[in-house]
Amino acid sequence: MMTVSGGESLIFEKGIPGHRGSHLPTAGVPAADPAVLLPGVPLREEPPSLPEVAEPQVVRHYTRLSRLNYCVDTGFYPLGSCTMKYNPKLNEEMSALPGFAALHPYQTEDQVQGVLRLMYELEQALLTITGMERASLQPSAGAQGELAGILMIKAYHRDNDGTGRDTVIVPDSAHGTNLASAAMAGYRVVEIPSSPRGLIDLSTLRRHLSERTAAIMLTNPNTLGLFEEDILEISRLIHEAGALCYYDGANLNAILGKARPGDMGMDVVHLNLHKTFSTPHGGGGPGAGPVAVGPTLEPYLPMPLVRPVQGEGVFTLDYDRPFSIGRVKGFFGNVGVMIRAFTYILSVGSDGLTRAGEDAVLAANYLRARLCDLYSVPHDGPCMHEFVISATQQAERGGTARDIAKRLLDFGIHPPTVYFPLTVREALMVEPTETEDLHTLDRFVDVMRQIDGEITNDPETVREAPHHTPVRRPDETLAARHPVLRWQKPRSDEFSEPVSG
């Protein structure tokens, strides 16, 4: 990330009328006027205001923009619940192979056997890792996996006299997507308070279970980085009440090769290939959110599924799924992301995955141990792959979690997730992952300690941070009150900037 004064002008503002960055072939067929080929069809009269720039200017513009970004390739990203591990370069090359990238989804199955095998083998690997029975790779991201999972649960209850089950239970430490997915699937959402230890409280859970309960959605380890020790009792209680268990796989990195949601009694699990399986986040996406199920929900999986044709050594797309909830996405899922995850699993293998989980947990515990004298740790005991510290002591001295986050940027470190989970005040949620060396971990500790000192000695510097980023804190209120969501072509008068206040 480079420091520049002021931002980059927009690509639209760089144009010179008549310039262009792409030259197309001639049609090479008898020319005809669109108005003739499209009789009676209303045609565009004014050309759209797109940029008018040559290729070198386009390349410079986006290269310069890229340099305003922080990224895994340039620095440490201890962003809790996001698993910002290193994204191996081989994965990128593999997903870009023309043998994959140029495949059309409506090619016949005999032309796409390689990718079908890859998808099948990826599914098998994910089933081994999760202990589930069958998976659909279709969901585009974790939240879509959640929606698919909850819709499967809904279909199951509909088929089993459970239409009165209108409630999904989530712990108060849950990701926002859990509640939003359950609501989108038409459920009432009940949040239950965590125990003082930060875990699901069995007696609270029992109190909320009823014939109206459709499911519980939980993350294990949870967003406090704590393993739900009573998980077997939880799934037993849920099943006894006639409800099902949804497992949010956002934190699966912690237990790779150590424990499996299937063995915990989970009925449906989504995975985030862009977290646990090393595919890049791309500035917000694409991800992939495969959803894996046990036998109860197997008939309801989104379709089609890839399956081997018995005895023929070939793979087919199976549309004969009469109980399927249908589709959540066009075609077969984010295949380009699947190729990266498959490459990762192949390269690290059984030992590498297990080691990834162990090292991620080791790194988190190391950071936690080295920070717990200055920052308060709301929950005892070893953590899993992430932990939450509370900056309440710092906030009392005038440096909030947000201020600390912003000050970290000045040191070239991406901040942890802040103000989440909602159950911890001034929360900073730290997930170092397994791909950071000792120097990086130690530097983070040093910087966190330095910032703590600054809060006492030089609070203004922290409160006004960041100072060395391409821009400083944006005026969020202005952005929301006077939304400017696109560039406008200047009329004769000039482009009007938003006005502060």
Partner 1 sequence: MSHTIHNDNDRLQLLGALGASAVDDLFSAIPETLLLRRLDLDPGLPESETREKVEDLAAANRPSGPLSFLGAGCYRHYVPAAVSALTSRGEFLTAYTPYQPEASQGTLQSIFEFQTCVSELTGLEVANASLYDGPSALAEAAFMALRLTGRDELLVSAGVHPEALQVVETYAEGPELTVLRQALDPVSGTTSTKTLQLSTATGAVLVSQPNCLGVVEDLTPLAEAAHAVGALLVVSTDLATLGILESPGMLGADIAVGDAQVFGNAPSFGGPSVGFLACRMEHLRQVPGRLVGRTLDADGRPCYTLTLQAREQHIRRAKATSNICSNQALGALAATIHLALLGPVGLRELGEICLQRAHHLHGLLCEIPGVRPLVTGPFFLEFALALPCAAEAFAQAMRTQGIDPGVPLLRMERGARPVFDPDLSAGRDEPPPPPTVPAENVLLVAVTESNPPDALARYAAAAREVLAGTEPRPQGTR
Which of the residues 120 through 149 are near partner 1 (CB under 8 A)? 125, 128-129, 140-144, 146-147
Does the footprint of partner 1 cover residue 72 (CB under 8 A)? yes
Residue 499's H or E segment, with its range, is none
Does the footprint of partner 1 cover residue 256 (CB under 8 A)? yes
Peptide bond into 421 cis (omega under 30): yes
Residues 6+ apart with CB under 8 A from 275: 82, 83, 85, 142, 250, 252, 253, 287
What value, to the nearest 5°, has the Cα angle with vertex 412 and ends 408 and 416?
45
Nearer to partner 1, 21 or 398 (CB): 21
Which of 135, 154, 157, 427 is close enough to bind partner 1 by CB under 8 A?
154
Nearer to partner 1, 77 or 396 (CB): 77
38-67 positions binding partner 1, by CB under 8 A: 38-45, 47-53, 55, 58-59, 61-63, 65-67
- The answer to whether 271 and 243 are in contact (CB under 8 A) is no
Closest distance to partner 1 from the beta carbon of 405 (Å) = 7
DSSP letter (8 states) at residue 170: E
Which of 71, 374, 377, 395 is close enough to bind partner 1 by CB under 8 A?
71
Cβ atoms < 10 Å from Cβ of 374: 16
Does the footprint of partner 1 cover residue 421 (CB under 8 A)? no
Extended beta strands in 320-408, E state: 387-390
| Residue 216: closest CA among 165, 254, 256 | 165
231-250 positions binding partner 1, by CB under 8 A: 231-232
Does the footprint of partner 1 cover residue 16 (CB under 8 A)? no
Pairwise CA distance, residues 75 & 366, whole Å: 19
Contact characters 302-321, partner 1, x per CB under 8 A = xxx------------x-x-x
Which of 189, 374, 377, 395 is close enough to bind partner 1 by CB under 8 A?
189
Which of 134, 239, 316, 362 is close enough to bind partner 1 by CB under 8 A?
362
- The answer to whether 252 and 82 are in contact (CB under 8 A) is no
Nearer to partner 1, 262 or 390 (CB): 262
Closest distance to partner 1 from the beta carbon of 311 (Å) = 19
Does the footprint of partner 1 cover residue 287 (CB under 8 A)? yes
Strand order in the sheet with 213-219: 134-136, 291-293, 268-270, 244-248, 213-219, 167-171, 188-192
Nearer to partner 1, 38 or 396 (CB): 38
How many chain residues interact with partner 1 (CB under 8 A)?
220
Closest distance to partner 1 from the beta carbon of 211 (Å) = 20
Contact characters 366-405, partner 1, x per CB under 8 A = x--xx----------xx-x--------------------x
Nearer to partner 1, 86 or 396 (CB): 86
Does the footprint of partner 1 cover residue 271 (CB under 8 A)? no
DSSP letter (8 states) at residue 245: E
DSSP letter (8 states) at residue 200: B
Piece of the chain touching partner 1 by CB under 8 A; list 77-85, 239-247, 387-395, 453-461:
77-85
Which of 76, 78, 80, 87 is close enough to bind partner 1 by CB under 8 A?
87
Pairwise CA distance, residues 430 & 133, whole Å: 32
| Residue 420: closest CA among 183, 71, 195, 174 | 174
Nearer to partner 1, 101 or 207 (CB): 101
Residues 6+ apart with CB under 8 A from 165: 157, 211, 212, 213, 214, 242, 243
Does the footprint of partner 1 cover residue 70 (CB under 8 A)? yes
439-458 positions binding partner 1, by CB under 8 A: none
* 400 phi, psi to nearest 5 deg: -80, 175
319-348 positions binding partner 1, by CB under 8 A: 319, 321, 325-337, 339, 342-348
